[in-house]
Every structure is written in structure tokens, then in C-alpha cells.
Structure 1
Amino acid sequence: MLRTVASLNGDAIRAIDDELGRVKEIYFDDERWGVRYLIVETGSWLSKQPVLLSPYSIKAIDDASETIQVSLTRQQIKNAPDVDTKKPVSRQSESEYSRYYGYEQYWTGPYMWGIGAYPMPMSPVAEGLSPAAERREESSVLASEDRPGDIHLHSSDEVCGYDIRGTDEDIGHVKDFIFDDKEWAIRYLVVDTHNWWPGGKKVLVATQWIENIDWTDSTVQTKLTREQIQNSPEYNEDMALDRDYEAELHHFYGRKGYWDE
């Protein structure tokens, strides 16, 4: 199912034993466009800063109650390695996080989630990792030591508002993100065109059509033109986003859908 990132903001996180907090934003990677973590404000029960929750831990999303069920306890969250969410998250910090929970490391394989296409729920690891996981951990730590500045995660809050630049001029700004809640892959940027086109509309730009993100200049570059954007199918955030709309969108741009790759 396709969802907007904004639809998760404020959702309650329900652990095995109690509520953990509420979703504040997400972290995604700028290499494969995966939603890697939910950033959760824990409120008064946990004094430390907001915590990271991986999609590996998510069991279900209940839209009716605006609740996300996770396979963790409060104690597990409390004992987890501290990750400063106010600073860029390094690969070394992620390695420590993955080791603590016994998660696969998504950057160690060819697919969206390393050795798999989507984050399969995993059983807790009581004592250490498997030999294969130990080898992945060792190689990952060595890589992080070689590249201590390997920063690749970015906040959804940070990128919302970035200008979208086409081949000729600016075509709007990032309003939201749409992701697939099975693979936890960001499929589209929601682009608001009103800043250059009075009476304009919201449109979707697939992540495969993004050429580059300039983190210094706060811009997203694509090869689409203003004329294409003006004539493209409008995105209505009040309607469910289905495959028929996606097919129409990709047909308009003459692009292959991600579901056919």
C-alpha cells in the first residue's frame, strides 16, 4: 500500500507492553530511497532524546486508530544505543544499532534491504549474532572506520520545502513523500507547483526521475520540464493512490514503472 510520510506523523507507537511515543518524522537514505527509520518522540517516560525505530520492528499500521504496532518492549528501547537524532547519523552508529537489535544491515546486499526486497520481521537475538552476521558486522565497522564521514541519511522534515529544478526552470517544491509500506521504499515526491504557477496543482515525481539532490543548495534536480509538469496527471491527496493512476502517470512520461523492474 502507498502512503504519505505526513500520514504517519503523530501516529502512536504501540510496543508489546505499552505505548512508546509518537512519530515525528522519518529518515531515508539518498542512495536507494529507503525509509530506514521512524523518529519517535518518547514523551516523559524516557528522558533521552527521540529514538530510532527500524521498519524491521513494525508489525502493522492501523489507520483507524492511527497506531503503529512494533515487536519491541519499552526496556529494549530504553537499553538501545543512543543515536543523536539532531546530528547526521553515521554508518558506524547504524552498525551499533543493527547489532543491538540483531537486524540485517540494509547496506550489505544488492536489494532494498540488503539480502531482501523488504524488511522481514526478525526474531530477537539473545546472545550475539550468527557467524554470517558477525562477518557483515566486521566488514561494516571496517568500512565505517575507513569513511568516518559516511553520512547518507536525511530527514523528511529537512527535505520538505526543497526546490525542484527541471531542465528549464524551477517547477515547485517538495511537499511530501509517498512510500510503499511493504518494501518501505519512497516511490514519489509530492511536488507543489503553486510557488511559480498561480492556481497550479500538486503532482508526483518518481524517485527514479530524480537526477541529483544538492544538500548544500537545498534543491532537487530532475530532467522534467515545466510544460510536462503542467500537463501531467494531477495528484489529489484526498484520493487513494492506486496502480491505475500510477500507470497513467508513467505512461504520460513514457517511463517504465518500478513494479515492472
Structure 2
Amino acid sequence: MLAGLRDIQRFTIAATDGDIGIIKDFLFDDRAWTIRYMYVDTHKWLPLGEKVLISPISLREIDTDDEKIHVALSKQQVKESPSIDEEKTVSREYEEILFSYLGYGYYWTGPGAWGEYAHPTALVNQQALEQANSNLEEHDKSKANHLRSIDELQGYDVIAGGETVGHIHDLILDTDNWEVPMLTIDTHNWLPGGKKLLLAPKHIDDINWLEQRVHCTLSAKDVELCPECDHDLLNDADYKLKVKSALQSLPGA
């Protein structure tokens, strides 16, 4: 299923024995264009109102009707999970501690977005954990994990051919693998009619986090050829084919 992160961000996270909180943000890998964590506000459940990280590895079901994401964790598991410093970035060391606590295999010890697997939930099994531990020595533990906030990215200017053509409005999530196949650009300050257009990550050349700018490989004229985003049709077969064809026709596709 394809869905805009803005739509999912209001969803409730449900543990196996009750709700634990509402998604407030997502952390994504800006190299693999993959959502690594849901940032969950638990203040209605935990007395101190701590925010916790929930990995898609724990996913059981996404209920769009009830706006809930069900995870294979108990409330006690979440409550006792390693605490995080909200003022600091999530380090690889913290990820290792969290994954060891939960018994998950490491996504960073294989060639794909989820290590040796195509889907995040495959890393929940014991075999994946053992494989990850055996591969860990082959990987640089100091390697940056490139985790960034979606909230931070939304609103960044998009630069094409040296011209500002809009800003990042949303990211489109594929809930099968939690990768980001497309981004939505709001062009209302640039194009008449205020269209929201779709771009693929392959069209992104660089994200300058200091300048809060996203540089793409396309010219401003090419951006005008990008398909328009219609959230109501994201999972319509004909619309998906039309979008795919339009994106593939762009330079560099």
C-alpha cells in the first residue's frame, strides 16, 4: 500500500495489549530512502510522557479505517525499552542496544535496505539476529546511520537548475517495505494553480541540511513535466501506471 506520511502521522500505535501513543514523526535513512522508525508520543500512557522509537520490524498490521498501526510488542516491552535523548541524534550505538533488547537482526549488516531481507518484519526472527551478529564484524560500527527527521525535511526548498521550484510537502511510503518511492513537492509559489507534483528519490541529487534545501537533478522545465499527486488514487492501478510512466520519461530515469 502507498500512503502519504502526513496521513499516517496521526495514527495511533497499538501494542498487543493496548494503545501506547500517537506517531509524532518519522526517522528516515536519507541514503536508502527508507523509514527506519516511528517516533511515538506516549504522554497519555506513560506518566513522564516519554517519546519512544518503534521500528517497522515490529509491524503486524496497518488499519487505515481505525487509523492504527498494530505492532508485535507489549506495553511492558515498550516501557522498558532503552531510553533515548530527544536532544541528540539516534546513534548506531543506540540502535545496537535497542535491537539487542528487542532481539532484532541488524538492518545495516546486509546489502539491501533491510540487510539480507526485502521486508523489515523478516528481521524479527532469531535466525536474522544470529546472521546479523555473525556479519557485524565485517561492517564499520562507526559508520553513520544517516537518520533524519521527516518533520525537519518537510518545508525544505527544492532547487532545480539553480531555481527554487517549490518545497517538500510530503513523502510517499510503501508499507510493504517501508521504502520511500516518491516525494511530493508543493509548487504553489512557483507554478500557477499550486500543483503538488511527484518526484522519485533518484531525481534527488543532494539534501543540504544546513541550508534546508533539496537539490534535484532535473531542470525547472523538467519539473513541470512531473506527474501531479492525487492521494486518493495512490493505490489505483491505472494511476500508478500513469505516474510510473511519467517519472520514467524524465531525464536520467
TM-score, normalization by structure 2: 0.89
Would the aligned equivalents of 1:88 and 1:151 in 2 still touch at CA under 8 Å? no
Q: Which residue of 1 aligns with 2:180?
A: 186
* Structure 2 alignment gaps of length 5 or more: none
Could you tell me which residue of structure 2 aligns to residue 49 of structure 1?
50
The DSSP-based 3-state class of the residue aligned with 2:230 is coil
RMSD: 2.2
Q: Deviations over 1:129-155 (max 9, x none)?
A: 965343345566x623xx5xx351001
Deviation at 1:18, TM superposition (A): 1.1
Is 1:207 the counterpart of 2:201? The answer is: yes
Task: Tell me by how many angstroms 1:196 deviates.
Answer: 2.0
Letter in 1 for 2:190: W
8 Å CA contact 1:17–1:73 kept in 2: the answer is yes
The SS at the match of 1:80 is coil
Give the alignment partner of residue 163 of structure 1, picking from 157, 162, 165. 157
Q: For 1:78-112, what per-residue CA distance to the aligned partner results, in whole angstroms no more than 9, with x for missing partners?
A: 11111223321111111111111111211110111
CA distance in 1 between counterparts of 2:124 and 2:217 reads: 43
> Once the two structures are aligned, what percentage of the paired residues are identical?
37
Cα distance in 1 for partners of 2:232, 2:121 equals 30
Residue in 2 that maps onto 1:228:
222
Partner Cα distance (1:53, 1:130) in 2: 18
TM-superposed CA distance for 1:12, in Å, is: 1.1
Distance 2:189 2:23 in 1: 29
Amino acid aligned to 2:179: A
**Which residue is equivalent to 2:104?**
103
Question: Normalising by the residue count of structure 1, what TM-score does the alignment of the two structures yield?
Answer: 0.87
Amino acid at match of 2:141: A
Match of 1:31 in 2: 31
Contact 1:99 1:137 in 2 (8 A): no
How do 1:116-195 residues align onto structure 2 when only pairs under 5 Å count? 116-121=117-122, 131-137=130-136, 143-144=141-142, 150=144, 152-195=146-189
**Counterparts of 1:254 and 1:239 in 2: how far apart (Å)?**
19
The answer to whether the 8 A contact 1:51-1:85 is kept is no
Counterpart amino acid of residue 3 in structure 2: R
Give, in whole Å, the separation in 1 of the partners of 2:86 and 2:29.
14
Deviation per residue, 1:205-238 (Å, 9 max, x gap): 1011111111111111112122222233221233
5+ long unaligned stretches in structure 1: 257-261
The alpha-carbon distance between structure 1 residues 170 and 132, as it changes in their structure 2 partners (threshold 3 A), is same
Q: Which moved more, 1:217-226 or 1:20-29?
A: 217-226
SS of match in other structure, 2:101: helix
Question: Are the counterparts in 2 of residues 101 and 124 from structure 1 also a CA contact under 8 Å?
Answer: no
